Amino acid sequence: MQRELQDTPFAYREQLSPRAGRMSRQRAATCVASRGRSNTVRELIQQKLLGGPPRKKEWVSSEGIPLNVFASDLACLGLSAETHSPDPKRSRLAYPQMTYMSNTQTHTQQHMQPHAQPHAQPHAQQPAVSGEGKMTLFQWQIHQQSSRMEGVPAEMLEMQDEDGDTFLHIAVAQGKRALAFVLAKKMSACGSLDVREHNGQSAFQIAAATNQHLIAQDLLLHRAQADARDAWGRSVLHVCAEKGHFLTLQTIQKTLSGMRHSIDIELYNYDGLTALHVAVLSYNRAVRELRELRELAAPCSVVALEVDRRRRMYMECIRTLVAMGAHCRTQDLKSGRTSLHMASEEADVELLHLFLDQPSSLHLVNEKMFNGNTALHIISSLQNNDTQLLAARMLMSSGADASAKNIEKELPAQLLSEGPDSAMVQKVLKGK
């Protein structure tokens, strides 16, 4: 019996308790026996693993963080659950290490490039066979999944579990690109591609949250709604900016550009922030963590290297958003801060240089918040910051007005605190 279960794709690989293991094997045997029945998929989606985990508030990326997801017996579609949690009662979905991202698939990206046409088809076409008549790995996978999905009615694909997840949500989260492609094609044809789960996230938003950039491209080609917002008011751009998923951002940019479609880059979330604001604030957090690690005399530790890697990811997100047309002068809805105001809070020279190199920097550098503070006010009020002097020089050389007053009639020089660089900053503000 054990040998038989190991040879079938429906067998469980989880290390469960003996009692749960027996019940799990019984369900697997039942699934094997019912492969020929038309209602197998309907039965599988209704079967939950024992002791299923409580749902997280959202889908998250796999970089060190496992996903708590709907763990059903979806073996007939290639969807499975694995236990990676110390708690055996909590079933966790193993993050896919891009199962379909082989070297061969990199070659197949040329077949997935969108072709801008005046009258585009309502959904993406299956990738064409290469010029030599050979089928690529991704094409073969799509063919296999299409064969497995034959005869599955549309209403079954639209079924949702108690968390609102469909087959497509789960396939996207597990990185099953070929399966997600086939499901997206079928669901797009019946108008259910943008079905939301309990957090208001569509399959496209799940792809962005889990950094599945190729799947995100496929879903866009199938006409997924690009401006959709979740329960927190976030678009896919907000999610990518928050998590540092610059590769998905760049994929969205290239795909929409090729389709001659646009996306609302200035969309606010429910916190009154645009995607560029979110990216800058995330970058500031990484810079602040690096500064704290330097103070602990651990600048070369593994933790510091990881934080610096995240900092560079956020910087790439900022560059991508600016290239997509994000306006640096856009103010948040709570305090009126622009991206330059936010960058000045940490006086990061690299980020300030990026914004001050923009064509609109002459107007941006003297933009005021709701309380009348300019970026120079923020720089002047910093304490124990080793880049304060250099940041003040950069602002002044870009045309910052040292005589600007806030609503309390305060000049930037009046906000200087006592410190070793205060006298030097004072001279810079006086133009010396």
Three state DSSP letters for 345-381: CCCCHHHHHHHHCCCCHHHHCCCCCCCCCCHHHHHHC
Q: Which of 119-123, 230-234, 282-286 has the lowest mean pLDDT?
A: 119-123
The helix (run of H) or strand (run of E) holding residue 420 is: none
**Identity of the residue numbered 152:** V
Sign for the pseudo-dihedral over CA of 142, 143, 148, 149: positive
Q: Select, from the ranges 125-134, 366-375, 413-422, the one with the highest average predicted confidence (pLDDT).
A: 366-375
For 233-261, what is the mean pLDDT?
94
Q: In terms of pLDDT, which residue wins out, 90 or 131?
A: 131
pLDDT in tens, 310-329: 999 999 999 999 999 999 99
Query: Which whole number is the average pLDDT over 277-281?
Result: 97
Contacts (Cβ under 8 Å, ≥6 apart) of 315: 283, 350, 351, 354
Q: What is the pTM of this model?
A: 0.71
CA angle 287, 293, 296 (to 5 degrees): 150
DSSP secondary structure of 90-125: S-BBPPP--TT--HHHHHHGGGG-----TT--SSPP
Fold of 233-326: 1.25.40
Give me the amino acid identity at 63: E
Reported as a single tens digit per residue, the pLDDT across 326-378 is 999 999 999 999 999 999 999 999 999 999 999 888 889 999 999 999 999 99
Give the separation between CA 205 and CA 225, rounded to whole angstroms: 9
Q: pLDDT digits over 370-387, tens only? A: 999 999 999 999 988 889
State which H helix or E strand residue 260 sits in.
none
List of residues 6+ apart from 115 with CB closer than 8 A: 258
Question: In percent, how much of the chain has pLDDT > 70?
Answer: 69
Residue 240 in tokens: 């990518």
Token digits of residue 362: 């002459």
Measured N-to-C along each axis, helices 349-356 and 302-323 cross at an angle, to the nearest 10 degrees, of 10
CATH number of the structural domain 329-432: 1.25.40.20
* Cα–Cα distance for residue pair 318/83, rounded to 1 Å: 36
Question: Which pLDDT value is given to residue 126?
Answer: 62
Distance, in Å, from the CA atom of 10 to the CA atom of 74, rounded to the nearest integer, reads: 8
- What count of other Cβ atoms lies within 10 Å of the Cβ of residue 19? 9
377 phi and psi angles, rounded to 5 deg: -60, -45
pLDDT band at 280 (very low <50, low <70, confident <90, very high): very high
Partners of 178 in the β-ladder: none
Q: What count of other Cβ atoms lies within 10 Å of the Cβ of residue 168?
A: 29
Q: Give CATH 1.25.40.20 domain extents, the chain.
A: 329-432
String of b and e for 57-91 (b: at least 16 CB within 10 Å)? ebbbbbeeebbbbbbbbbbbbbbbbbbeeeeeebb
The secondary structure element, H or E, covering residue 183 is: helix 177-189
Q: Looking at residue 5, what is its pLDDT? A: 37
As a whole number, mean pLDDT of residues 199-228 equals 94
- Among candidate residues 212, 153, 225, the one with its CA nearest the CA of residue 178: 212
Q: Are 50 and 20 in contact (CB under 8 A)?
A: yes
d(CA 203, CA 193): 8
Between residues 65 and 162, the one the model is more confident about? 162
Percent of the chain surpassing pLDDT 90: 50
Q: Which residues are CB-neighbours of 326 under 8 A, at least 6 positions away?
A: 265, 266, 274, 275, 276
Residue 131 has what pLDDT?
55
Do residues 266 and 338 touch, judged by C-beta distance below 8 A?
A: no
Structure-model confidence comparison of residues 258 and 95, the more confident one: 258
Task: Quote the CA–CA distance of 83 and 60 in Å, as a whole number.
Answer: 17
d(CA 414, CA 380): 8
φ/ψ (deg, to 5) at 389: -65, -45
Residue 92: strand pairing partners = 82
Residue 422 reports pLDDT greater than 60: yes
- Residue 41's pLDDT is 42
At residue 100, does pLDDT exceed 50?
A: no
* Spatial contact of 220 and 256, defined as CB atoms under 8 Å apart: yes
Residue 61, pLDDT above cutoff 50:
no
Return the number of other C-beta atoms located less than 10 Å from residue 205's C-beta. Answer: 30
